[in-house]
Structure 1
Amino acid sequence: MDPRSEVLLRQAELFQGQVLLAGLPADDLLGKLPAARGWSWHAGEQAGLEQRFAGRSEFGTTAPASPFASAVLFLPKSRELTDYLLDSLAARLPGALLYLVGEKRAGIERAAKQLQRFGKPRKLDSARHCQLWQVQVDNAPAVPQLESLAERISLPLSDGPLDVITLPGVFSHGRLDRGTALLLEHLDKLPSGHLLDFGCGAGILGSVLKRRYPQSRLTLLDVDAFALAASRMTLAANGLEAEVLASDGIHGAPGGLSAIISNPPFHSGVHTNYAASETLLREAARHLLPGGELRIVANSFLRYPPLIEEHLGTCQTLAEAEGFRIYQARKG
């Protein structure tokens, strides 16, 4: 059981009614609170919840339309995203109770101050290195529009500027990270066919791929609903079209790919987690056609080449700069 869920269950009498659990982990919390429902923006958590509690959790960037009498937000990493989520919930709960739960190391005490605009927050519990806060929504905000949080940046690339739309909570919000910048310089001579941008974030790589390889089919995949929304916005801003898929790993990708391109993820919330990246390296060959290529950027200290060569083929280093390397391998 997630420690944040354990803290909620210490106060289980507060959550027996129609409570919405926003950003909940895929543990047994819904089983302990039979009248509760979930709202998730993490495809992996949602898949686990759907498997165990079919129909009781919804995936997306907006709060479920079905009514709820109170809500609990499991604190996300981004302060801006926390604001959006709190406003989304508080707008539906005038005069009702809104809760915030999170780990101390994730900044729950700081985040609790974000409740002050709705009323007077109070701490209900502190245990398992987590805290639970409550506020009565005396000042309900208007329902926030996701598009109003979008930040537009223009990237000056060799083949012309690219408009990028980013959202709070999405990797590298409002800027171009160094790893992606390096990979953008090494996207030439990819095999034609079906291309996959794995861990697409705001859709920068995917949009550049579609622009440079317009005849190729393109799929963008990410675990995060807000990243998928940002990718759709970025594609639209540049007049591009592609398939956008939600999945927590390469298992959700289509087969018959000619190339997989990625700046693979290594965070899960506030935690460092290389599982999705390492699984990509192990399973890429199953999704690639013979001769298909894997091309990724990674921190140079990560020992990815032996893993790539074990499961795919000879690994070449195409470039190295500022602590990153571009790796390339083809399926034999």
Structure 2
Amino acid sequence: MDPRSEVLLRQAELFQRPLLLAGLPADDLLGALPQASGWSWHAGDQATLESRFAGRSQFGTTPPEHAFEAAVLFLPKSRELTDYLLAALAARLPGGELFLVGEKRGGIERAAKQLAAFGKPRKLDSARHCQLWQVTVEQSPAIPDLEALAQRYRLDLADGPLEVVSLPGVFSHGRLDRGSALLLAQLDGLPSGHLLDFGCGAGVLGAVLKRRYPQNRLSLLDVDAFAVASSRLTLAANGLEGEVIAADGIHGAPEELAAIVSNPPFHQGVHTDYQASEDLLREARNHLLPGGELRIVANSFLKYPPLIEYHLGPCQTLAEGDGFRIYRARRG
């Protein structure tokens, strides 16, 4: 059981009513709270919850439409995303109770101050290195317009400007990160066929690929519902078409790809996790056609070339800078 769930269950009598668990972990909490339902924006967690508690959790960027008497938000990493999620929940709970739970190292005490916009917050419990806070919603906000909260920025590229639309919580929100910037300069000479932007975030790489290779089919994949929505907005803002997939890792990607291009994810919550990136390197050949290419950016300190060469083929370093390297390998 996730320690945040354990803290909730220490106060289980508060949650024996129609309750929404927002950003819940994929553990046994729904089983312990029979009147609760879930709202997840993590495709992997949602798949696990659906397999164990069919129909009791919804995936997406907005709260489920069904009624609930109280809500618990499991604190996300991003403060901007926390602002949106708290407002989205409080808007549905005039006079109701809104709870916030999170790890101390994740900034729960700071985040609890954000509850003051709706009423007077109070700390209910502190255990398992986590805290549980509560507020009665006395000032219920208007339902927030998620798209209006997007940050938009322009990239001036050799083939013209590109508009990027970044929603709260998406990687490198509102700016181009250094790794993607280095990879953007190394996208020449990709094979013809179906291209995949793996871990697409706001869709920068995918949009550039589609514009540079307009005859190629494009797919974009991310585990996060807000990233999936951002990528769709970025494609639309530039008049581009692509299939955007919500899936947890390379196992959810199409097969018979001509190329996989990626700034692979390695952060989840307050912890660092390289699992999705390492799975990509191990499984890429199963999704690439013979001669298909993997082209990724990675931190220079990560020992990826031996892993790439073991599972795919000879690994070439195309560029290096700002603590990153661009690697290329082809399936034999």
Aligned amino acid, residue 218 of structure 1: L
Cα offset for 1:12? 0.4
Within a 5 Å distance, the mapping from 1:205-220 to structure 2 comes to 205-220=205-220
Cα offset for 1:124? 0.2
Within a 5 Å distance, the mapping from 1:80-99 to structure 2 comes to 80-99=80-99
> Distance between the aligned counterparts of 1:178 and 1:192, measured in 2?
27
> Distance between the aligned counterparts of 1:259 and 1:194, measured in 2?
7
Structure 2, unpaired ranges of 5+: none
Aligned amino acid, residue 202 of structure 2: A
Q: What corresponds to 2:235 in structure 1?
A: 235
> Distance between the aligned counterparts of 2:60 and 2:223, measured in 1?
11
Counterpart of 1:132 in 2: which secondary structure?
strand
> What are the superposed Cα offsets for residues 123-180 of structure 1, whole Å, 9 maximum, x if unpaired?
0000000000000001100000111111110001111111000111100001110000
Q: What corresponds to 2:34 in structure 1?
A: 34
Counterpart of 1:251 in 2: which secondary structure?
helix
> Distance between the aligned counterparts of 2:98 and 2:177, measured in 1?
35
Aligned amino acid, residue 136 of structure 1: T
Q: What corresponds to 1:304 in structure 2?
A: 304
> Distance between the aligned counterparts of 2:28 and 2:41, measured in 1?
18
Moved over 4 A (4+): none
> Distance between the aligned counterparts of 1:63 and 1:282, measured in 2?
36
> What are the superposed Cα offsets for residues 276-329 of structure 1, whole Å, 9 maximum, x if unpaired?
000000000000000000000000110000000000000000111111100000
Aligned amino acid, residue 147 of structure 2: E
Structure 2 length-normalised TM: 1.00
> Distance between the aligned counterparts of 1:321 and 1:85, measured in 2?
36
Within a 5 Å distance, the mapping from 1:155-170 to structure 2 comes to 155-170=155-170
1:191 and 2:191 are equivalent in the alignment: yes
1:134 and 2:103 are equivalent in the alignment: no
> Distance between the aligned counterparts of 1:188 and 1:6, measured in 2?
51
How large is the Cα RMSD of the aligned pairs? 0.5
> Distance between the aligned counterparts of 1:319 and 1:151, measured in 2?
29
> What are the superposed Cα offsets for residues 67-91 of structure 1, whole Å, 9 maximum, x if unpaired?
1010000000111110100010000
> Distance between the aligned counterparts of 1:73 and 1:322, measured in 2?
36
Counterpart of 2:117 in 1: which secondary structure?
coil
Q: What corresponds to 1:46 in structure 2?
A: 46
Aligned amino acid, residue 134 of structure 1: Q
Structure 1 length-normalised TM: 1.00
> Distance between the aligned counterparts of 1:69 and 1:269, measured in 2?
27
Aligned amino acid, residue 310 of structure 1: Y
Q: What corresponds to 1:329 in structure 2?
A: 329
1:248 and 2:248 are equivalent in the alignment: yes
> What are the superposed Cα offsets for residues 15-43 of structure 1, whole Å, 9 maximum, x if unpaired?
11100000000000001001100000000
Q: What corresponds to 2:73 in structure 1?
A: 73
Q: What corresponds to 2:284 in structure 1?
A: 284
Within a 5 Å distance, the mapping from 1:221-232 to structure 2 comes to 221-232=221-232
> Distance between the aligned counterparts of 1:116 and 1:298, measured in 2?
40
Aligned amino acid, residue 169 of structure 1: G
> What are the superposed Cα offsets for residues 38-59 of structure 1, whole Å, 9 maximum, x if unpaired?
0000001101101110100000
1:109 and 2:109 are equivalent in the alignment: yes
Q: What corresponds to 2:23 in structure 1?
A: 23
Cα offset for 1:269? 1.2
> Distance between the aligned counterparts of 1:74 and 1:242, measured in 2?
32
> Distance between the aligned counterparts of 1:158 and 1:185, measured in 2?
10
> Distance between the aligned counterparts of 1:286 and 1:117, measured in 2?
50
> Distance between the aligned counterparts of 2:16 and 2:251, measured in 1?
36
1:201 and 2:216 are equivalent in the alignment: no
Q: What corresponds to 2:143 in structure 1?
A: 143
> Distance between the aligned counterparts of 1:33 and 1:89, measured in 2?
19
Structure 1, unpaired ranges of 5+: none
Q: Which moved more, 1:188-197 or 1:155-164?
A: 155-164
Report the number of matched residues: 332
> Distance between the aligned counterparts of 2:101 and 2:18, measured in 1?
18
Aligned amino acid, residue 111 of structure 1: A
> Distance between the aligned counterparts of 2:320 and 2:92, measured in 1?
50
